[in-house]
Structure 1
């Protein structure tokens, strides 16, 4: 339900409920003072119009006391009875236990007159009392007087009481107080409801906006609901969450930038220091022979080459990080491609006395979308990383593949020193080196595996490392296989099995 509808309904309730209560109160008051609502018009036509009930009774009492002949005047009695019947009141006159007059045969037929009290004393007026007869309630007023013949006469005014009128007359104070209480409760509950459903969420949003203005984003907007305020609360929370994430990313970028500058400074300073040292040696005459001079110059050239390689890799990583390196993807039959690469690799590794073990089986049909040059760079960086840290006399590198879950997994392992298992997940971070590799013997830019990860991610794949210290490391590359080629590859694999 929208806020607009809530406002309309709440204000309509605030208007309609009090009006209904006032109308009901007015009707009840009308019933109390005028009897049945349907006899209201006839009540205004009475010759006793404008008189209270007590005044009417007093008039009747004094009329008969001053003119006792009227007790036996049928014309006057009929007129008086007709007026009283308009007020639902009957007249019954009794003299010496005999009926002198009755407004209607209704009274004579009813056993109610048998229970009427006896004559008490001339000139007395008994206060009205209630009598119940045949499930009906009656109000009876008694007037005692003496006739002109000194006979005891009792005049009774018998009024049939409407149950509703009786109830209202009895409980009117309670009804009036209840009406006031209901009115107050209605306004209180509606105000409370509006406060909770509208005012409080608005205050919560105002508080949240102030916190955002002050730079505090470490909170959560707790506003629920399907109305406009609930939608606004969810939108505000999403905005806060995204803003907080953006600031965190920005802070991480800033930290990475500072770390990058630090690592670049560290990695460039080492070869520059060496170059300065050898140049000073030449200038100061330490290289006092052609052989030493040539050695110094070769060392300077090697260090300059290291710097050039580091700068190239920094430039490449920067372009990958900013997604500005163009890739030329093509659908490549992956197993022939890997076999050709493995043949070239085997020749290079034999020169370094490294044993290469290959276990590739998946058929000729499997195709993967790759950029040939970039993918070869990834494979080269992984092999160079393995060779860099080889510390065993019998060096070994393994290459294996498998097709599983619509993807190709290429695993390249070595029997080098490995890294602690907790460090394996960090080796693809830029400039990361496990502690034992921070030495001048291995060197390296620390960007090789970071570049490899960036390239594989751009290929829509993933790269992971498993390692146990002292037992070597296995790096796994996972790439999606093209759907059409996947069916042929799986069929080929099944036939070979």
Structure 2
């Protein structure tokens, strides 16, 4: 039963039907060829019967001309003539031979003997019921009778064969057009996405090869949804685990910091003081990492509070670099600040988020670009955008570093910038890194 529902079986049915039609045409042609003689006998009997009937029905010799015209329309190749009661050739039409103008009994008998069952086919009928007005002769070549029959059958074949071919092509076109339509619908379904970004299942209308493909597609969609659900559950579990771990790690870290502070008050050797200093630096780094991890988790869960307002961003950057100035100065950095006010000085942003972005970027400069001993801040304004630029002269982001982490700080920067409908670009080489925070003047460009 499954095979009979398949596309292969349906197309085989179309081909078999077409072959059966061709066979019928071939059979009809063969019958027509073999029945030429039979057709000729039927046609001659018909002509003979009708010629006698119409000749006997003539009441006035003047009707003979009308009879000739009538039969000429039916058989243009026929010859007809009238021998009146006196044996004179009185009227004729389309004569193929020269007949004597006067027919006597001996010539008439000779003519009848020669024409009997011969070619051309000849019919002799008396005029009128009383048979006193002579006789009418009808002659037609026998090959004309065959030709008319063959032409009739040829016309039938010349019409039916192309018609059969056209019908086969049309049915095949409809068959493959339907297949193509179903495949295009399947392709469209693959491109359509639901609210969760996954394809949507499609209805299966027929249990054939394409129906099996549709079943497989629907099965794939179901598996994708199950996989997405498991992924979301695992992601949620991971976020909760990270949040809990961040909280649990901070508690002992606070105690370590407190004990370190107590030890700093004691009289210690220089080596012990150096150890406590290194320990405090490690505590601060760990605290920063935990803070970044917590922020990253909250941002992913959309639980990091976001409040946008119109902010003078250049002034905000000046304030931020001022708070970091002592640390840069302590590490021997050259601080180059060339900040000019934008024409549209206020950006619609969250000031706390923007400060966090500046802090992460400044911290990266101290950690990874300390060799360059340089940080530069400047602004850039074009017809397309306004930009805040932070540059250093370190070895670049691709260089190896003992301070290199998992990149959570930059991931937080990326998420915050894009949430505030801003953009940023990084250009990093062995001679330094330049970061641009851009606000496009066209909303469509930003999106």
TM-score range, shorter chain: 0.5 to 0.7
| Backbone CA RMSD of aligned residues | 5.5
Distance 1:300 1:416, change over 3 A: closer
Equivalent position to 1:188, from 157, 161, 168: 168
Mapped pair 1:175 → 2:155: yes
Mapped pair 1:476 → 2:432: no
Distance 1:299 1:407, change over 3 A: same
Equivalent position to 1:157, from 138, 141, 144: 138
Distance 1:306 1:482, change over 3 A: same
Are the counterparts in 1 of residues 390 and 436 from structure 2 also a CA contact under 8 Å? yes
CA distance in 1, matches of 2:95, 2:333: 133
Distance 1:58 1:127, change over 3 A: farther
CA distance in 2, matches of 1:77, 1:387: 134
* CA displacement, residues 24-55 of structure 1 (integer Å, 9 cap, x when unaligned): xxxxxxxxxxxxxxxxxxxxxxxxxxx72123
How much has 1:60 moved relative to structure 2? 9.4
How much has 1:196 moved relative to structure 2? 1.4
Mapped pair 1:361 → 2:355: no
Equivalent position to 2:428, from 462, 467, 472: 467
Equivalent position to 1:332, from 281, 301, 311: 311
Mapped pair 1:92 → 2:70: no
SS in 2 for 1:475: strand
* CA displacement, residues 256-313 of structure 1 (integer Å, 9 cap, x when unaligned): 969x89xx8xx99xx99x99xx9xxxxxxxxxx9849998888777656554443332
Are the counterparts in 2 of residues 362 and 402 from structure 1 also a CA contact under 8 Å? no
Distance 1:453 1:303, change over 3 A: same
Q: Which runs of 5+ in 2 are unaligned?
A: 1-20, 22-44, 73-79, 101-106, 127-133, 190-209, 257-265
SS in 1 for 2:112: coil
How much has 1:399 moved relative to structure 2? 0.8
CA distance in 1, matches of 2:187, 2:384: 51
Aligned partner of 1:399 in structure 2 is 377
How much has 1:91 moved relative to structure 2? 5.2
Aligned partner of 2:350 in structure 1 is 371
Q: Which runs of 5+ in 1 are unaligned?
A: 1-17, 19-50, 64-73, 131-139, 146-152, 210-231, 279-288, 421-433, 484-497
Q: Counterparts of 1:203-222 in structure 2 under 5 Å? A: none
CA distance in 1, matches of 2:63, 2:405: 128
Distance 1:172 1:114, change over 3 A: closer
- Output the TM-score relative to the length of structure 1: 0.51
Aligned partner of 1:493 in structure 2 is none
SS in 2 for 1:405: coil
Are the counterparts in 1 of residues 334 and 375 from structure 2 also a CA contact under 8 Å? yes
CA distance in 2, matches of 1:206, 1:455: 39
CA distance in 2, matches of 1:195, 1:176: 28
SS in 1 for 2:377: strand
Equivalent position to 2:360, from 359, 377, 381: 381
CA distance in 2, matches of 1:338, 1:199: 63
Mapped pair 1:123 → 2:112: yes
Aligned partner of 1:21 in structure 2 is none
SS in 1 for 2:386: strand
How much has 1:327 moved relative to structure 2? 1.4
CA distance in 2, matches of 1:190, 1:337: 74
Are the counterparts in 2 of residues 408 and 479 from structure 1 also a CA contact under 8 Å? yes
Aligned partner of 1:285 in structure 2 is none
SS in 2 for 1:399: strand
How much has 1:384 moved relative to structure 2? 0.6
Aligned partner of 1:321 in structure 2 is 300
* CA displacement, residues 195-248 of structure 1 (integer Å, 9 cap, x when unaligned): 111145447878999xxxxxxxxxxxxxxxxxxxxxx99xx9xx99x969x78x
Are the counterparts in 1 of residues 338 and 377 from structure 2 also a CA contact under 8 Å? yes
Corresponding residue pairs, total: 330
Distance 1:444 1:189, change over 3 A: closer
Are the counterparts in 1 of residues 316 and 355 from structure 2 also a CA contact under 8 Å? no
SS in 2 for 1:357: strand
CA distance in 1, matches of 2:230, 2:374: 39
